[in-house]
Each structure stands twice: as C-alpha cells, then as structure tokens.
Amino acid sequence: MIKTDVLILGGGLAGLSTAYHLNECGGLSSLVVEKNAAVGGTAGSVKQGGFVFDYTGHLLHLHDPYGKNLVLGLLRGNLAAHERSSWIYSRDVYTRYPFQANTYGLPSKVVEDCLAGFFKTIHRLDWRPLSPRPSFRDWSLRQFGAGISRHFMFPYNEKLWRTPLSRMTTEWQGRFVPKPAASEVLYGALADQKKFFGYNASFRYPKRGGIQVLPDALAARLKPGQIKTSSPVLSVDLRERVAVAQGLGEVGFSRLVNTLPLVDFLDLAAPFPAAVRAARAKLRYNTVYCLNLGVNRAALPEKHWVYFPEKKYPFYRVGCYSNFAAANAPQGTSSFYIEISRRAWEKADLPRLENAVLSGLRSCRILKSGDKLLSKFWMPIRCAYVVYDFERTQAVEAIFKALGKMGVESIGRYGGWKYSFMEETILDGKRCAERLAGRSQPARLSPGDAQAELKPLK
Ligand SMILES: Cc1cc2nc3c(=O)[nH]c(=O)nc-3n(C[C@H](O)[C@H](O)[C@H](O)COP(=O)(O)OP(=O)(O)OC[C@H]3O[C@@H](n4cnc5c(N)ncnc54)[C@H](O)[C@@H]3O)c2cc1C
C-alpha cells in the first residue's frame, strides 16, 4: 500500500497549490491523485485543429501581492495584460458592461425606466429597511431599482442561476456586481461612458497555450511522482485513513485534503454522521454547457465577451478566446465559447440546443450565413456554479464543522463550495498547506519567482 502524510484529492489549481506549498513548508510528504490524464481541472485547456479552448473564459485577476508574484513568476514571459472589453447585447444594441452604468444607446423608453427606477431608490423615503439577509431579488430592486432589475439584473441572473432570485441570497455578489454612483448612472445614460467598473476591469492571460499553462507550471514545480494522473479516487475510508484510487489501489494517509466538488466527496467518502448526509442533500449547483466554436474569419473584433440577458437567446454569455490571445486560433480565424446554464438535474438536449445557439449567433450577427465552422464541440462543466440559495450557508457550516473534527480539509472553488476565482483558489491551497504544516507565516516564494513586469497591450 502507498503511504503519504497528506493525500490531496484532485489535481486542479487547489490541489496543485496545496502540494506546491507543502513542499515549500517542508516536513510533510504529499500525493496528488487526479482523475483525468492532465492536471488543471476547470483551469485546463483542450487543443483541437489548431485552436486552444479553455473551459469558457479563464482570465487572471491578480489582486493579492503574494498570488500575483507567484503567478507572474510561474508564467514569466508568457502573460499579456488586457483592458477588459465586455459588453451587453440587448434590444439589438451593444452597451458597455456594467449595464447599470451604461444604458446609453438603448431605446429611450428603456433608459427612462432604468433612470426612473434608480433615482427612486435614492429619493424614496418610505422604504422599509431591507432584511439583514435579503434575497437577491429584493436587494437588486433596492440597489438598482425596478428598471435596471427588469431589463438586466433579473433576466441575466435567472439565465445564469436557473433559480428563482427570491430564493437566492446576495452572499456571492459582493465582489462581482458593481454599484456605480448616481452621477455615473446618469452620465452613462447620456453618453458613452468609457469608464471601468468592477473587480475585473483588467486581466492577464497567457500569450500561448491557453490557461492550461498555469496548472502545468505549478505541476512542473512538484517532485517527480508527486502527482498521479488518470487515477480517479473511488472511495475514502475516513476511519481507517485509507483511500482507493483506480490504478493505484489503496493509499494510506494521515491528513486528507479534498478539492473535488463537495457533493462528490461526501458521496464517495464514509462514514459521516446523519447531520452531514442531511446537509449534503441541501447543496445545489448548476452545470454549464459550453459550446466551443472555431470560425474561418476574425469575427467579433475588439470584444472579449458579451452578456445576453434576453430570453430569445439560449446563452447567457459569449466570449472570444482568440481576442484573449492570437495564438488561441490559427491566423485569419477566431474562436468562441458560448455558455448555457442548467440545473444539475436538468437534461440538456445538445443537438437541439446547438441549433438554437447557432441561430441565436446568426440573429445577433456574431456569425454570418457564409461562415464556416472549423471546429465545434461541447464541453460540459458538470459542477460549474454553486447555487447560493437560502439553505447553502447553514448546510456548508454543518458539513465543515464535521469535516474539521475528522481532520479533513476541503478547499478550492468546489471543495469549499463557493463562488471564487483562480487566484483565490491558489491562495486556498497555500493557506491549507500552512495549516497542515503548523505554520502561520506566509510561505516564501521559490528562488526564481521574482515578479515579471507586464505592459498593457495596446
Ligand atoms: C464557467 C467558469 C468560468 C470561470 N472563469 C474564471 C475566470 O475568468 N477567472 C478566474 O480566475 N476563475 C474563473 N473560474 C473559476 C476557476 O475555474 C476556479 O477557481 C478554479 O479552477 C477551481 O480550481 P479547483 O482546484 O478548486 O477545482 P477543479 O478545477 O474543479 O479541480 C478539481 C479536480 O478534481 C478532479 N477530480 C474530480 N473527481 C475526481 C476523483 N473522483 N478522483 C480524482 N480526481 C477527481 C478534477 O478532474 C479536477 O482536476 C471559472 C469557473 C467556471 C466554472
């Protein structure tokens, strides 16, 4: 039987980062067990016919000094910085993101609705205070007013979350939904406001190789044999401290780090108290069906991605990989991801959906009738978005309390059952490694991880 101090389930960014930082801390042996042939999980890429496709847009937003230094060091020479060019397409018009600050160009009735509703949220004196834990629906009405809610916030978020917004909390939105000032809302209705709002106003992305180069670079820093790929974990006995992985057999461990979707981990590990099983039944998630396309001309110039709130389009977002990096597509072509969300239990009829997607892309003129599709394939992301409904927080707290008592760490976007991004996932792994190693001070950078300076692209 293989034995390790720390067994890490999953070789996505969370698992790789944990192993990397455990090595930095020293002292504990660790082994990463990954189901797929390649590392990276949702931060991976697939190559087909000269195109590089990610699991929909994966842009690097680096806010933390340590996270930034680490990523810049890992991808030195292979990162470009971009100013975000993100748009909303509704009423046959492109407006800038975020909708709430950029209604200029929409039909005047829509602009009037949006402004009237927004200013009512400021000047109305008879509002009852919002509850301390409001629904997303109530919060949106109070933050942005009825017009902005009706024309964007409600239809877009209903398409993404596939959950009544009155049953969703606002816990996920803090960093992700910008709130402009009244003057900005007004100015953005009168003129094309070329101002950046929100947490991701700029981003970095690899010049070559798609986002896969990031997990690959982390994996390359691990010790030989520290990652076992093509080895799905089949079961975990938490009492005996033994896991079984296909092709490896039994793996004995002292400490366990889970980065698989929490629901999957709770289904393959045992034993758990009844309270954990009951809490697990309350966890909900969405599947994203990503249709990847390679097109024989440079379509959608100068736009990185576009949000589609209207029901007549089956997709909620379309993005252009070849506008993140020219090397993502052969010269003279372009490549796209088209995102459609479904509840985990909903069946998706992909051939039918594909027809509806292609006809939607033609109707908004991203595709033209003579375009040739050089590449076309679906990339489902089974557990893509954790749904923040009113049951989630309590359920997650009960599960994490029990896991803590069993000496199990569960981290990352899906192990931690949260809405987060790649840098945060890498930092989750760092903090986890430090807890396991009994260290509180930050891990140092490896020699050679010096920060690379990047210039924005013109
Ligand atoms: C649609 C979408 C768009 C996103 N866009 C961005 C973005 O623009 N910027 C950004 O910073 N972040 C983005 N993210 C978030 C980013 O993908 C995550 O933060 C990060 O990749 C999560 O890494 P992880 O290791 O926690 O999980 P995962 O990447 O899911 O890693 C878990 C690993 O476990 C493996 N596994 C599963 N089951 C088993 C098993 N039984 N045995 C062994 N291994 C198993 C999986 O194969 C996978 O490799 C996006 C996510 C999604 C879904």
Residues 223-253: tens digit of each pLDDT = 999 999 999 999 999 999 999 999 999 999 9
Q: Which domain holds residue 94?
A: 86-199
Flag whether pLDDT at 436 surpasses 60. Answer: yes
Same-domain pairing of 329 and 310: yes
User: How would residue 125 be classed by pLDDT, with cut points 50, 70 and 90?
Assistant: low
Last residue of a domain, one of 369, 386, 403: 386
Distance CA 171, CA 168 (A): 9
Instruction: Point out the domain boundary residue: 370, 386, 402.
Output: 386
Residues 334 and 417 both lie in one domain: no
Number of domains in the chain: 3
Q: Could you tell me which residues are beta bridge partners of residue 288?
A: 341, 381
CA of 281 to the centre of ligand 1 (A): 22
Confidence check: pLDDT of 54 > 70 = yes
Give the distance (Å) from ligand 1 centre to CA of residue 2.
Answer: 26
Residues 265 and 393 occupy one common structural domain: yes
- 228 and 363 share a domain? no
Average pLDDT over the chain reads 93
- Do 176 and 125 fall into the same domain? yes
Closest-lying ligand 1 atom to the alpha carbon of residue 41: 49
Alpha-carbon gap, residue 133 to 147, rounded angstroms: 23
Please report the pLDDT score of residue 173 as a whole number: 76
**Comparing 411 with 195, which gets the higher pLDDT?**
411
Among 69, 99, 67, 103, residue whose Cα is nearest residue 86? 99
Dihedral sign for Cα 262, 289, 316, 291, please: positive
**Predicted confidence (pLDDT) per residue in 340-364, tens digit:** 999 999 999 999 999 999 999 999 9
Closest ligand 1 atom to Cα of 14:
25
Residue from 13, 34, 42 to probe ligand 1 pocket by mutation (most atoms less than 8 Å from CB): 42
- Is the separation of the CB atoms in 35 and 232 below 8 Å? yes
Question: Which of 244, 411, 413, 417 to mutate for ligand 1's pocket (most ligand atoms within 8 Å of CB)?
Answer: 413
Taking the model in full, what pTM does it have? 0.93
Note whether residue 264 is domain-resident: yes
For the CA of 384, the nearest atom of ligand 1: 53
Of 199, 219, 248, the domain-final residue: 199
Is 454 inside any structural domain?
Answer: no
Please give the pLDDT value at position 176. 65
In a domain, 422, yes or no: yes
Classify 62 as helix, strand or coil. Answer: coil
Indicate if 195 and 102 belong to the same structural domain. yes
Instruction: Give residues (CB < 6 A) around ligand 1.
Output: 9-15, 33-36, 41-43, 56-59, 61, 232-233, 259-260, 264, 288, 381, 384, 412-414, 420-422, 425
Q: Report how far ligand 1's centroid is from the alpha carbon of 27 (Å).
A: 28
Q: What is the CATH number of the domain that holds 351?
A: 3.90.660.20
- List, for residues 182-202, the tens digit of each pLDDT value: 999 999 999 998 777 766 789
